[in-house]
Structure 1
Amino acid sequence: MARRALILLEGHRSIGLLYVKAARRMDLHPITLSADPACHDYLAAEGIEAIRVDTDDLDAVIRECSQLRATYDIAGITGFSGADESVYATVGKLSRQFDLPGPNPTSVERCCDKFTQRQLLAEAGVPIPAFRLAANATDIESAAADIGLPVILKPALGSGSSGVRLCRNIDEVAEHTTYLLGGKHIWQSSPKILVEEFVQGPFYWANLMGNEIIAIGAGAFGRPPHFVFREVTYPALLTDEERERIADVSLSCLRALGLGWGPTNIEFRWTKRGPVVIEVNPRLVGGADPQLVQLAYGVDLITEHIKLVVGDEWDLRRRHSHTAAARYLVPDRDGTLDRIDGDSRAAAVSGVAEVKIYVRPKTLIVRKGDYRDRIGHVIAASPSLAQTKAILQRAVDMIDLRITPFATVGE
């Protein structure tokens, strides 16, 4: 009998290895198809079968999967995005091609284009920020004046907060416009920029599987103008009424966008008018979140997602109720990372679930204002929020991070 294989399109620096390990526990053989397997370190480190193929070329990926079927029983197909979320639409198309469970590719494509997403949500009456689409500097300046400062400028396509910035005055609008359109930002297609109202209030997100809300988390960002997470906590401190309102709006988003198969991540700001939807992502959230959900509730989102992908019955029941939180290590300056240690001491603190450093000493640190700025994390869990926060702070205080700034001209 042919070995059952799980096809993974591309990789992911925070959750890719977790998918591989979960697949192996389920007696599935993980195979990664990637345009550049070498950029996913864990593939070689874990001895994972990887095949180089242009994952933007649907026909090429179909041919590769067809060849693999001669050796393996392909049980399911899923994948991850880097800067280009079209991978999820490709997963949907492949799943239909090979008669496997998967998301609706049309719904995913509409959702990944943030302008189209905004239009569909607005038509359905879902609360969202005021927005305009722009393709050049004149359009951007006009939209910012129309909406009123401050505004958010972001690419209509992309993920991980890449290219997203808060612009508090017209000079910052001009500066970020030059960045986005002047060749520094890498575009997957013709430039399309969203100019959005800056909605203020506590930041939350809901993790759904199918039509069921599994967990609601809370996040805190570093200093503006960028949106780089510093801390993430599960569960978010909400009243029953607030949770119910977030649940209602979440389900409205699924209906408006034609989603509801597999994982969805929906981001909110809580305002005077209640939850305002910042973004809907047709995928499982990355970072430390899957581990935090498992620590807080005992639900393994990754394993349950794989079960869905291969046609097995999932189990989303909560096993317990704890508080789990992650603190991300984010440099406060550019320069050379001279030292980062104390992680083993931090990991030994009672209640700490994981300490992970993503970079090595002597790495050059050049902040980009997105998820790539994070160089490590600490995860802690306990029965209470206060205890978890105390554990987290004690562990983080043990980590010694030293960066020597780059020499300036004339020094």
Structure 2
Amino acid sequence: MIYNDLVDAIGHTPLVRLRAAPAGVTVAAKLELQNLFAMKDRVARQVILEARANGVLAPGGPIIESSSGTMALGLAVAGHALGHPVHIVTDPRIDAITLAKLKALGCSVHVVDAMTANGWQSARLERLAALREEYPGAFWPRQYSNPQNPLAYAALAKELVADLGGVDILVGAVGSGGSLCGTARALRRELKAAGRTEPLRVIGVDAVGSVLFGQPDQPGRKQSGIGNSLVPGNLDHAEIDEVHWLNDHEAFVATRDLAREEGIFAGNSSGSVYRVLKHLAATVPPGTRVVGIFPDRGDRYVDSIYDDGYWERARLAELPLRTEPSEVPYGTEVDGWARAEVPSTPRRRLVFVESNTTGTGMLALSRARDLGLAPVLLTNRPGRYPGIGEADCEVIRCDTNDADAPAAALRARFDADEVAGVTTTSEFYLEAAASLAATLGVPGNPPAAVAACRRKSETRRLLTDAGLPQPVSVAVTSEAEVAEAVAAAGLPCVVKPAADSASTGVLLCDSVEQARDHAAKLLAITHNVREQAVPTEVLVEELVEGTEYSVETIFADGELHVVGVTRKSVSPPPSFVELRHAFPAPLDDAASGEIERVVRAAVEAVGLRHGACHTELRLTSAGPTVIEINARLAGGMIPELIRLAGGPDLLTQQLRAAAGLPVELPRGELTPTGVAFLTSSEEGRLAGLDGHEAARSLPGVAEVHIARRPGDPVRPATDAYDRMGYVIASADSVEDLDRSLDAALDRITVRLTND
């Protein structure tokens, strides 16, 4: 068969019966070493093509990765074929042959001088971080945690089923975790689809002195391409039933045996797998089909595995050399060939239906991983998210604006019990997430309640039925209805969309004509920024005078808990852009109690009963008046303020709730903490922002974040999207907090150009 290019030629490797198998037992080697360079050619192709498709890797953009062997070579060949410069960070253990190949392929190779306290891998990652600073916008494949690593082996699983018809035991070396876990997972799905009912047994092979399966780290181990000093994100212990450890002596002997007995000139990871295959061949019952994955060729090891002098210098003969594995409880420290059953809890997926493009969006994905969940992002346009390449998140492209597409995409990828929950950090997809959760039978709010919160006229109806205080509100569907609505609401009045986000389109109008013009403008909008159809409806509402507050609540054990109240400062009319938040709000007990009573009743009225809720209100002389109820976390950095103030980490707790985990709400003394947003007083193009380092150095300032770059267009804020950055600070009192935020903003100067 002729392939269009080298990238297409990756894969399609042979499956070969081994002589070690007795009659009636099939023992076969999947010769991944017959890829262009090795098994990780598959990973390199997958991660590069996916990054290009998602917009994470620009045409001609540089690729930077840490690797001492086959991943580097895979990136070199795939990157070169697709027009990308490749930088490889490695250590002195790299063999001369691999180094020569990388340089011949045009790679820039960066060799670290010494290991850190955490080994060579940690030293390489530090150097990689420095290179990424040097090459802004470079793509880091992150082979140890990139979900595309295990996904790259779906084709390998299909090849095994096509060649052998079925597999009973799969054996593979473990380094990044991607090859064995990815193949095992895909193979189980392939076998299930073919009607197989017997479970597939998966055996991982590791090096003595590797931390992957509960052993203490020995950074001086000699084996390459197997084992690790760090536990990578792609290692899913739930996919592996049994682990074997071999020391350097045993692995090298096994590798030479493989060459002598089977005629396969391979590396030590293949040799270790071969040793386990021979053991299984002698112990499994007739009819068993055993497959081992052989990752790479032996040419990299001519100066080590195949060099007697190296053996003497490394004093390998001083290590144990066992002919059978000793069976030990998992967690027992071993010095030679041993095996153990792997205890594991299945890793479950937390599905995100789209995300915020700023703020908590990408952070939520990493927090999900911290909880032991595997984040999955459903999106119709991955390129919308600048940080997705570093989020260690599986991305599934589907039409998230279609009611049925998300569920269909998940069913095609996962079994029902693999999805722990569904959530979103985008207000535009709250309804879609609630509907998907209901379809899958995982925790979530009633879809009708979420829809009622998104459709503000329905919120108003439910609050009216409950007798709760709110502005006079009239929904209009045409310009002709505006005058009557204004008469009911009074002047000035607030005209706003029935369903949008970030104060977009909210305007204070002083006359019927202005209200009519703005309503006409809003009614002409057919789709929002996420290409979703919007209701042909506008609200004309009474202006409620008073200080604005938001109340953060979350359900735990079926009970609504009030986490706290935030004081909000908004821009002067005619827009209502939030410019500053302070938590906890300075309120007396009477006001706090009345606010809590109204919020509890409002949440009950709209029918929410799961996860976080963000309620906005204004405190008037007559008491609290509800402005909005949102079935989500607050925006505007409020969850971060609560965390920094000493309250619960609401983002993490919302993810726990979505995944069906217990919500934890520790209570303690709170420190006043606030955020002030940076805006421009004029329209133009940003030339620069000066003084942010001086602002960052002020007492009490915790963070200064600049969200705009020179050349970006800016204007006076009419909605939250116009904010240019923020300052977060803490103080002993709200008064001191305001002074700290003012001082920080005073240090920052916005320079504009009209060019």
TM-score (norm 2): 0.51
Q: Which residue of 2 aligns with 1:225?
A: 574
Match of 1:96 in 2: 438
Q: What is the aligned partner in structure 2 of residue 409 from structure 1? A: none
* Cα distance between partner residues in 1 of 2:577 and 2:754: 20
Q: 2:533 aligns with which of 183, 188, 197?
A: 188
Asked if residue 114 in structure 1 is aligned to residue 459 in structure 2, the reply is: no
The secondary structure found in structure 2 opposite 1:328 is strand
Q: Which amino acid aligns with 2:493?
A: V
State the one-letter code of the partner of 2:347: R
Q: Is contact 1:329-1:376 (8 Å) kept? A: yes
The equivalent residue for 1:394 is 743
Residues 72 and 259 (structure 1), Cα distance of their counterparts in 2 relative to 1, 3 Å cut:
closer
- For the pair 1:362 / 2:707, whether they are aligned, the reply is no
Describe how 1:1-400 pairs up with structure 2 within 5 A.
1=238, 2-12=346-356, 13-70=358-415, 73-82=418-427, 84=428, 87-183=429-525, 186=528, 188-210=533-555, 211-366=560-715, 369-400=718-749
Distance 1:335 1:181 in 2: 29
3-state secondary structure, aligned to 2:710: coil
Q: Residues 288-317 of structure 1: CA distance to partner in whole angstroms, max 9, x if unpaired?
A: 101101112331001111111112112112
* Structure 1 runs not aligned, ≥5 long: 407-411
Deviation of 1:47 (Å): 4.6
Looking at structure 1, the residues matched to 499 and 737 of structure 2 have their Cα atoms a distance apart, in angstroms, of 36
* Partner residue, 2:51: none
Specify the code of the residue in structure 2 equivalent to 1:167.
Answer: C
Per-residue deviation, 1:53: 1.4
Q: 1:22/1:183 Cα in 2 relative to 1: closer, same or farther (>3 Å)?
A: closer
In structure 1, what residue type is equivalent to 2:496?
K
Q: SS state of the match for residue 553, structure 2?
A: strand
- The residue matched to 2:486 in structure 1 has which SS? helix
Q: Which amino acid aligns with 1:191?
A: T
Change (3 A) 1:52 1:341: farther
Q: Report the Cα distance in structure 2 between the residues aligned to 1:148 and 1:301, rounded to whole angstroms.
A: 38
Shift of 1:368: 6.4
User: What amino acid sits opposite 2:550 in the alignment?
Assistant: W
- Structure 2 residue matching 1:125: 3-state secondary structure: coil
Is this contact kept in 1: 2:420–2:659, CA < 8 A? yes
Report the 3-state secondary structure (helix = DSSP H, G, I; strand = E; otherwise coil) of the residue aligned with 2:387: helix
CA gap 1:278/1:318 in 2 versus in 1, 3 angstroms: same
Mean Cα displacement is larger for which, 16-25 or 265-274?
16-25
For residue 222 of structure 1, report the CA deviation from its aligned partner.
Answer: 1.4
Secondary structure in 1 aligned to 2:635? coil
CA contact (8 A) 1:356 1:377 kept: yes
Partner-residue secondary structure (3-state), 1:7: strand
Instruction: Tell whether the 8 Å contact from 2:586 to 2:734 is kept in structure 1 after alignment.
Output: no
Larger RCO (alpha carbons 8 Å, 6+ apart): 1
SS at match of 1:318: coil
Change beyond 3 A, Cα 1:394–1:125: same
The alpha carbon displacement at 1:51 in A equals 2.1
Q: Secondary structure at the match of 1:58?
A: coil
Provide Cα deviations, 1:76-130, integer angstroms capped at 9, x if missing partner: 2101325x3xx21222222222221111111111221100110110111000111
Q: Is the 8 A contact 2:527 2:533 kept in 1?
A: no
Secondary structure (helix, strand or coil) at the match of 1:264 reads strand
Range with greater deviation from structure 2 (245-254 or 342-351): 342-351
SS of residue matched to 1:395: helix
TM-score, normalised relative to structure 1: 0.93
| AA matched with 1:369 | T
The count of residues paired between Structure 1 and Structure 2 equals 403
For 1:149-205, what per-residue CA distance to the aligned partner results, in whole angstroms no more than 9, with x for missing partners?
111001111121111111122342233134223459847234201110001100011
Q: 2:752 aligns with which of 398, 403, 410?
A: 403
The structure whose residues are more often strand, as a share, is 1
Q: Supply the distance in 2 between the matched residues of 1:67 and 1:182 (Cα, whole angstroms).
A: 38
Q: Is the 8 A contact 1:112 1:157 kept in 2?
A: yes
The answer on whether the counterparts of 2:594 and 2:624 sit within 8 Å (CA) in structure 1 is yes
1:41 alignment partner, SS class: coil
How far apart are 1:364 and its partner, in Å?
Answer: 1.3
**2:526, 2:534 within 8 Å by CA — same for their partners in 1?**
no
